Amino acid sequence: MGKIGKYTSMPLNKVKITDTFWSKYIKLVHDEVIPYQWEAINDRVPDAEPSHAIKNFRIAAGLEQGEFYGFVFQDTDLAKWLEAAAYRLETHPDAELEKLADEAIELVEKAQQPDGYLNTYYTIKEPGKRWTNLRECHELYTAGHMMEAAVAYFRATGKKKLLDVMCRFADHIDSVFGTEPGKLRGYDGHQEIELALVKLYEATGEAKYLKLSKYFLDERGKKPYYFEIEYEKRGRTNHFPDALMHNPMYNQTHLQVREQTTAEGHSVRAVYMLTAMADVAALTGDQGLLEACRKIWDNIVSKRMYITGGIGSMAYGESFSFDYDLPNDTMYTETCASIGLIFFAHRMLKIEPKSYYADEMERALYNNVLAGMAQDGKSFFYVNPLEVLPEACEKNAAYKHVKPVRQKWFSCSCCPPNVARLLASLGQYIYTVNDNTVYTHLYIGNKTNVEVSGTGLVLEQKTNYPWDGKVALKVSAEIQKEISIALRVPGWCKNYSLTLNGVTIEAKVVDGYAVIERTWGQGDTIELNMDMSAELIGANPAVRANAGKVAIQRGPVVYCIEEIDNGRNLSAISVPLNSKLRAEYDKTLLGGCVVVRTEGVRTDAIAWGDSLYKPAEATVLPVVIKAVPYCMWGNRTPGEMQVWIRKC
């Protein structure tokens, strides 16, 4: 089988982001988030859940005495911090940050066991029980995150210490797992190592790492189920008491991966697995894996995804439930799950540049992911609901997972460092390139050097996106050569125009991309002007939670209403379908953003008096509704929030 994917991303050091919207977030990651999270994993954040990640490594390395603390996968706190730091170093060298990272890597190396094994939980707490509980104990998941960090750090700095550590660990894993006699026929309970092994293969050229990744995918779901075999073998004991983990659907072992057609179980595990499936399909030409990716993608985005790009509608198991089951107030939509959806979309774009992958990548990025972090970078949401009533969060156990305010840290703190590593690596999601075409997937101001069709191009993108729909792309070629530039026409865009050097042009649209093919000179400028009007969006009638409701969206940005702007009891507010939506830039609000105002009505509470029920009547008062970007909610006075609004 030959390769399927022929599209590559830009190396991070070739992309300089100069964007009015994203630069502040990237600076925030460097100035606040990475230093803050370093303090958190060193247990130096007052009143926050301790991490103990660094201390666990020190104990495992024999540098101090103590007991293991935290979850069985606590090592990933450090792994994801190292990965985020690496991406930042690749784009913005920083001697002090690099010194911190080097010291952490020295610690990791010291904690590695002589046979290559690396996991502080099993080194400190249960040294004789390695690889006995793959379903629950995340050994391979933890290894995968440290592998990703190792590859990122090698690419950023050229330093191989962590890469060598993780190659030794990967070699150890390869000696333990496989179909050969004497090896375990197991796979991970929480998928992650599969995509990490692909990165390790790409960094080292070692084919055995790609082969091992494919083995873990191929073995998953075969009967008899390996997790049941190991459960019996260890005397039917559990690490986590919750019987949920015994359900094969929870960790996507109910079917072999090529037979799966719907998104099931734990949402983060699902999209991490799908990311690896797309990677392996691209590198090996495996059409079965690719077709499964396409089918499950379609199921997610057409039946199981929120308007914000959130996935995982059920708190129990942090899981998908069933088609069109999308409650707004008890939903889970973990930040990590949307980040995983972005990974999956990006890998599919590297196989086939179809705009609908980039549309959903953009949706998740501008909405669910950004909502997961406060504007100051020092507090975070794990769960991202579309409707919040603070009193319910406090007093109703059904909402115990929903927080009306962001938290400083979490005992299971996978989301904050995941946000940091995504934003620090944002440059790699903007473009992909093949033999003769550059595809522009995201509209983010940047200057990028790209090699295409044997010549160098400099691309300079300028835009005030997502607050307006005008994008200017200057193209300068070192050698005059016919090359195609493809610009995504977003799914939300109903009308657009294109100019080249000030002259209106028509471009052929292929798979949602306007393709301009010509011989480029020095400073040729394309302008894409997209009509960006606010509009009311409805949901499929099968989505019961949104019956009789609408949401406000403008460009890629989904809006919400908050108590601070609209008063209490947001559920009493309705908006007419013919309401005129007015978009206004407010430079004083949350660092500057576009708000949307419109006329609506509110049910008159005074007319109801103390009655709980009475004959229905239309007693309403006129109100002006003010909506703000969902990604920015919860950054002012805590209170109610709602995305879907009753229509009238």
pLDDT at 609: 84
Cα–Cα distance between 348 and 453 in angstroms, integer? 22
Cα–Cα distance between 481 and 499 in angstroms, integer? 20
Alpha helices in 521-597 (DSSP H): 563-566
pLDDT at 294: 98
Active site residues: 318, 414
The region of weakest confidence among 266-275, 414-423, 464-473 is 414-423
Cα–Cα distance between 15 and 428 in angstroms, integer? 8
Amino acid at the residue 509: V
Where does residue 518 rank: exposed (0-12), middle (13-18), buried (19+ CB within 10 A)?
A: middle
Which residues have CB under 8 Å from 552's CB, separation 6+? 534, 535, 536, 537, 558, 559, 581, 596, 598, 627, 645
Average pLDDT value for residue range 249-254: 96
pLDDT at 411: 60
Asked if residues 628 and 557 have their Cβ atoms less than 8 Å apart, the reply is no
Q: 328 by DSSP, 3-state: which?
A: coil
The region of weakest confidence among 180-194, 294-308, 410-424, 564-578 is 410-424
Indicate if the pLDDT at residue 1 is higher than 60: no
Predicted confidence (pLDDT) per residue in 444-455, tens digit: 999 999 999 889
pLDDT at 48: 79
pLDDT at 211: 98
Average pLDDT value for residue range 239-257: 89
pLDDT at 481: 87
pLDDT at 408: 74
Alpha carbon dihedral 52, 55, 60, 64, in 10-degree steps, equals -140
State percent of the chain over pLDDT 70: 98
Pick the CATH number of 13-429 from 2.60.40, 1.10.287, 1.10.357, 1.50.10: 1.50.10
Indicate if the pLDDT at residue 413 is higher than 70: no
Where does residue 474 rank: exposed (0-12), middle (13-18), buried (19+ CB within 10 A)?
A: middle
Average pLDDT value for residue range 76-105: 96
Q: Please spell the DSSP secondary structure of 577-645, one letter per residue.
A: TTPPPEEEEETTSTTSEEEEEEEEEEE-HHHHTT-SS------EEEEEEEEEEGGGTTSSS---EESSE
pLDDT at 605: 82
Cα–Cα distance between 105 and 78 in angstroms, integer? 10
**Cα-based distances in Å from 377 to 27, 615, 635:** 10, 49, 11
Asked if residues 104 and 77 have their Cβ atoms less than 8 Å apart, the reply is no
Across all residues in the chain, what is the average pLDDT? 94
Q: Say if strands 593-603 and 620-629 run parallel, antiparallel, or are unpaired.
A: antiparallel
Take residue 417 and report the two structure tokens written for it.
């460092």
> Residue 580's CB: how many other CB atoms inside 10 A?
9
pLDDT band at 225 (very low <50, low <70, confident <90, very high): very high
CA max distance for the chain: 78
Take residue 81 and report the two structure tokens written for it.
């911090």
User: What is the value of pTM for the model shown?
Assistant: 0.96
pLDDT at 184: 97
Stated as kind and residue range, the H or E segment containing 197 is: helix 193-204
State percent of the chain over pLDDT 90: 86
**Cα-based distances in Å from 87 to 81, 350, 507, 534, 623:** 10, 20, 35, 35, 47
Cα–Cα distance between 339 and 24 in angstroms, integer? 19
pLDDT band at 567 (very low <50, low <70, confident <90, very high): very high
CB-hemisphere CA count at 13 Å for 86? 29
In Å, how far from its chain's centre is CA 211? 26
Strand 446-452: give its sheet, edge to edge: 15-17, 446-452, 455-463, 470-477, 522-530, 496-500, 503-505
Average pLDDT value for residue range 219-247: 90
Asked if residues 568 and 521 have their Cβ atoms less than 8 Å apart, the reply is no
pLDDT band at 405 (very low <50, low <70, confident <90, very high): confident
CB-hemisphere CA count at 13 Å for 147? 29
Domain ranges of the chain: 13-429, 431-530, 534-647
In Å, how far from its chain's centre is CA 590? 23
Cα–Cα distance between 196 and 206 in angstroms, integer? 13
Q: Which of 33, 69, 32 is nearest to 51 (CA)?
A: 69
Question: Under CATH, which number does the domain 431-530 receive?
Answer: 2.60.420.10
Indicate if the pLDDT at residue 2 is higher than 60: no
In Å, how far from its chain's centre is CA 10? 19
**Cα-based distances in Å from 290 to 14, 296, 445, 510:** 29, 10, 32, 21
pLDDT at 380: 83
pLDDT band at 410 (very low <50, low <70, confident <90, very high): low
Indicate if the pLDDT at residue 243 is higher than 80: no
Cα–Cα distance between 333 and 385 in angstroms, integer? 7
Predicted confidence (pLDDT) per residue in 345-396, tens digit: 999 999 999 999 999 999 999 999 999 998 888 888 879 999 999 999 999 9
Take residue 234 and report the two structure tokens written for it.
């260890």
Q: Which of 169, 254, 269 is nearest to 212 (CA)?
A: 169
pLDDT at 619: 85
